[in-house]
Amino acid sequence: MFSGMFKVVAGLLACTLAARAGNFNDVVLRQVAAMPVGGGYATTTAAHDALASTTTIDAAGLHIRTASATPSYCSGATYLVLLKTLGELQRRGDIRLDRAAWQALLPAKMADGEGIWGRWNANGPGTPRLFHELGLGRNFTEFSDARPGDFLKIFWTGEIGKNERGHSVVFLGLEAIAGVEHVRFWSSNKPGGYGEKSVPREKIARAIFSRLESPERISAALPARDSYLAGLLTKRSSPAEVARMCGIR
């Protein structure tokens, strides 16, 4: 527990210079550090209802009660971090979102590919696709380019789409455990819920990083439905198609 939090704090310090260069990883990591621990993992209707119940809007913007979002699941956990990041950026004057923009961000019940939440929660490259559509920041696949505070979609197998096994996380860094390179991340993880986890890098078949660089773009115009992500409930995708749809070079 304490060693994990030390790594988050170290990540915050490492990202200070990066933030000055136009990304907001330090803000993302502050939200991770303030999230609850545990609470259990579930992908049930009750878990989504708990996620939806955490967010309310008033004249001051979006309010989030993260302690209410239990049990939780991975995409809901990282989405709360995104919302909390946007909230901090609004309070400090980096972005200006109106009530309509906050309303569009609520994690309401949406099918995959619908709205902002329905894209983030979709099979396949939901978060990278949203980042590309709105111009929120760049997507990339190289671990050598990654920094603590990047959002990360992990694919545990080579499948993308209907047969995939994936995980939505916040990247915390690489570390060696017993001489084996591991990837450390934060998310809602099985079975305990919110917290950090470290897995051997060789266990990850594919990884897509998304770095928040232009958060003000979250209110840009967006089609109501993304047919590519919506289709991944029943279809498979390829790495080449993912790269094209997510602007990965």
Q: Which of 106, 97, 90 lies closest to 27 in space, CA to CA?
A: 90
Q: Which of 145, 138, 165 lies closest to 154 in space, CA to CA?
A: 165
- The DSSP annotation for 107-175 comes to --S--TTBHHHHHHTSTTTHHHHHHHHHT-S-EE--GGG--TT-EEEEESSS--BTT--EEEEEEEEEE
What is the model's pLDDT at position 21? Answer: 42
Asked whether 230 and 111 are in contact (CB, 8 A), the reply is: yes
Structure pTM?
Answer: 0.91
The one-character DSSP state at 83 is H
Residue 102, SS3 per DSSP: helix
How far apart (Å, rounded) are the C-alpha atoms in residues 64 and 18? 27
For residue 167, the cross-strand partners are: 154
Give the start-to-end residue ranges of the domains of the chain.
2-246
For residue 210, the cross-strand partners are: 139, 151
Give pLDDT tens digits for 107-143. 999 999 999 999 999 999 999 999 999 999 999 999 9
**Cα 7–chain centre separation:** 19
Give pLDDT tens digits for 24-35. 999 999 999 999
Higher pLDDT, 74 or 8: 74
How far apart (Å, rounded) are the C-alpha atoms in residues 146 and 136? 16
Q: Tokens 């958060």 appear where?
A: 215
SS3 content of the chain, % helix, strand, coil (to 5): 40, 25, 35
Residue 5 has pLDDT above 80, yes or no: no
Higher pLDDT, 6 or 183: 183
The chain-wide mean pLDDT, for the chain, equals: 92
Residue 217, SS3 per DSSP: helix
Two structure tokens written together for 160 = 């993308």
Number of other CB atoms surrounding residue 85 within 10 Å:
24
How far apart (Å, rounded) are the C-alpha atoms in residues 127 and 153? 7
For residue 206, the cross-strand partners are: 155
How far apart (Å, rounded) are the C-alpha atoms in residues 192 and 42? 10
**Half-sphere exposure (Cβ direction) of 138: Cα atoms closer than 13 Å:** 10
Residue 155 has pLDDT above 90, yes or no: yes
Give pLDDT tens digits for 41-97. 999 999 999 999 999 998 778 899 998 999 999 999 999 999 999 999 999 999 999
Give pLDDT tens digits for 171-228. 999 999 999 999 999 999 999 999 999 999 999 999 999 999 999 999 999 999 999 9
What is the model's pLDDT at position 11? Answer: 47
Residue 98, SS3 per DSSP: coil
For residue 71, is the peptide bond before it cis, meaning its omega torsion is within 30 degrees of 0? Answer: yes
